[in-house]
Structure 1
Amino acid sequence: MTATGQAPVIFINGLIGTLKCQLIEQALAGRPCEAPDLLGYGSLTGVGADSIGIAAQVEHIEQWIGQRFGPRQVHVVGHSVGGVVAYLFALCHPQRVLSLISVEGNFSLKDAFWSSSVARSPAHEVAALLTGYQAQPRTWLARSGLEGEPALLDRAARWLGHQPASTLQAMARSVVAVTASPDYPQQLQALFKQVPVHLLAGEQSLAGWDVPAWAREMAEGVTVMPGCGHLMMLEDPLGFGQQVAAILERLEERKHVAL
């Protein structure tokens, strides 16, 4: 099978930014891959905050995939808050998902610590915070221990400008509500029984990822990307794409999914 005939890979971004990146696509070596704008992001920034939340993103992605790929099954890659969207997408549409790669996806409210802060802050403070980071991307990168070299600063500026503050707060509030639900751990365990899930973390941020023991045991595997942290796809997009490609190849070798 040619790369273009393989199942599409759908990337779901975290609270800030987009996983649409030419270097990531390059690393996938011709596999069909897309990073659709979520509600409130990029081309969809006009969507009102009242219409934005995890459940709405799940149905938006399903509609988007149907329009773009028809009934084809897909691989889903979700980062951080996007991991929560990916988890619930796979639960709601298991017939659509061949595999799921969780890139430090939120397993608990503890993982959603920054979302918790954004969720409870007054709207004007969230807007001021985002405006400040947009003016000084180097400051935002420094929160993750990243140096502001030119290419990285350009990518960071694009991420910071990809959504308004109202979207950040709407998504933050939604992810806090989902991850704080007493049913959330049981939902995730049901997901891991239904869909092959692989865990991907940065070497420098793995220790802070609140992965329950059952998830490590039930996962198809755990990959640690050397030298990177939570924003690995921003820090090293080509390397991140190569990690995703390698995971998909391993899944194919195990014949758990038809790529």
Structure 2
Amino acid sequence: MTGTVNKGAALLMVHGLLGPIDYFAPARLLAGIDVHAPDMIGYGRHRSEEAGIDLPGQADALAHYLRDEVEQPAWLLGHSVGGAVAMMVADRVPELVRGLISVEGNFTLRDAFWCARIAALGEEEWAAEYGAMEDAPAAWLEKSGIEAYDERIAWAKDILSNQPYTTVQRMARSTVAETGKPEWLDLVRRVLVRDTPLYLLGGEQSAAGWDVPEWVLAAARQILVQPKTGHMMMLEDPRNFCRIVGSIIGGGEGSAGTAP
């Protein structure tokens, strides 16, 4: 890992449409960083909860988590839909956010193509499709362009069993609704105008399809690409993913390259 990690630096990791985000044990790979990876509402330990399964509700809950559990300004890392949630958190409690690491986070509706597809399905149709994914995690990985071997299949099982299909569909619909509002990019602008450090991280095989506005690219401190990976880069190569993240937090300006 390049750079020297600030002792006691805190990192709040926000999972995407499917959780969790700590299945690869990031705390073990990010030595010297206080890593937090809470389940959002409707996921994991909170899967039985019903109120707040939308982007604003998740952002509010994570803002409370920062105040009550982290107790210091933290770096926020958001993956995919989690990137949009992290941006909302930064808008709500800027004093508790040291910086943002957007890992192919949602900026526009073009990024929410899977969410849009899920949102448009009837509940029974989506329940059947999600059940098929749960029954065949290896096939789900292969369909995503990821070679399936034992460790990855075990992780895929954890991911798919982490939340009910209802949570996934409700979050998908909220993502489409929130990022489709004209006010959404105004929120992003507010965060960036405050000079909140923003780092963009994409996978080499998927970064070209990431729809990031030019003014966001211009505002980013650094644009990084993780080699030989796609959208689920932390599953494909967790060690390199954590090396890049640790370098950003440690001030080493991650060395994975610049996005095209």
Q: TM-score by structure 1 length?
A: 0.92
1:64 maps to a residue whose letter is Y
Q: Residues 102-161 of structure 1: CA distance to partner in whole angstroms, max 9, x if unpaired?
A: 000011000000001111111111111111111101121123201111111111110001
1:17 maps to a residue whose letter is G
Q: Which residue of 1 aligns with 2:31?
A: 29
Separation in structure 1 between the aligned mates of residue 138 and residue 30 of structure 2, nearest angstrom: 29
Separation in structure 2 between the aligned mates of residue 212 and residue 135 of structure 1, nearest angstrom: 38
Q: Which residue of 2 aligns with 1:98?
A: 98
- Select the residue among 35, 44, 47 that pairs with 1:45: 47
2:242 maps to a residue whose letter is G
Separation in structure 2 between the aligned mates of residue 149 and residue 230 of structure 1, nearest angstrom: 18
How many residue pairs get matched?
A: 250
1:174 paired with 2:174, answer yes
1:6 paired with 2:8, answer yes
2:140 maps to a residue whose letter is W
CA contact (8 A) 1:52 1:167 kept: yes
CA contact (8 A) 2:82 2:105 kept: yes
Separation in structure 2 between the aligned mates of residue 247 and residue 145 of structure 1, nearest angstrom: 27
Q: Which residue of 1 aligns with 2:246?
A: 245
- Tell me by how many angstroms 1:23 deviates: 3.8
Separation in structure 1 between the aligned mates of residue 209 and residue 110 of structure 2, nearest angstrom: 9
- Tell me by how many angstroms 1:240 deviates: 1.1
The verdict on how the C-alpha distance between 1:169 and 1:10 changes in structure 2, with shifts beyond 3 A counting, is same
SS of residue in 2 equivalent to 1:29: coil
- Tell me by how many angstroms 1:27 deviates: 2.1
- Tell me by how many angstroms 1:191 deviates: 1.3
- Tell me by how many angstroms 1:67 deviates: 2.3
Q: Residues 30-76 of structure 1: CA distance to partner in whole angstroms, max 9, x if unpaired?
A: 3100100100000000012x531011101111222222123x11100
Q: Which residue of 2 aligns with 1:206?
A: 207
Identity within the alignment, %: 37
Aligned pairs for 1:109-258 (under 5 A) are 109-194=109-194, 195-250=196-251
Q: CA RMSD in A?
A: 1.8
SS of residue in 2 equivalent to 1:201: strand
Separation in structure 1 between the aligned mates of residue 43 and residue 6 of structure 2, nearest angstrom: 27
Separation in structure 2 between the aligned mates of residue 3 and residue 208 of structure 1, nearest angstrom: 31
Q: Which residue of 2 aligns with 1:257?
A: none
Separation in structure 1 between the aligned mates of residue 223 and residue 6 of structure 2, nearest angstrom: 27
1:69 maps to a residue whose letter is V
Aligned pairs for 1:77-92 (under 5 A) are 77-92=77-92
Separation in structure 2 between the aligned mates of residue 60 and residue 93 of structure 1, nearest angstrom: 12
The verdict on how the C-alpha distance between 1:130 and 1:229 changes in structure 2, with shifts beyond 3 A counting, is same
- Tell me by how many angstroms 1:252 deviates: 8.3
CA contact (8 A) 1:23 1:241 kept: no
CA contact (8 A) 2:14 2:21 kept: yes
Q: Residues 69-89 of structure 1: CA distance to partner in whole angstroms, max 9, x if unpaired?
A: 23x111000000000000011
2:149 maps to a residue whose letter is E
Separation in structure 2 between the aligned mates of residue 196 and residue 207 of structure 1, nearest angstrom: 22
- Select the residue among 20, 23, 37 that pairs with 2:22: 20
Structure 2: gaps (5+ residues): 255-260
- Tell me by how many angstroms 1:20 deviates: 1.3
1:134 maps to a residue whose letter is E
Q: Residues 213-253 of structure 1: CA distance to partner in whole angstroms, max 9, x if unpaired?
A: 11111101111000000000111122211110011123689
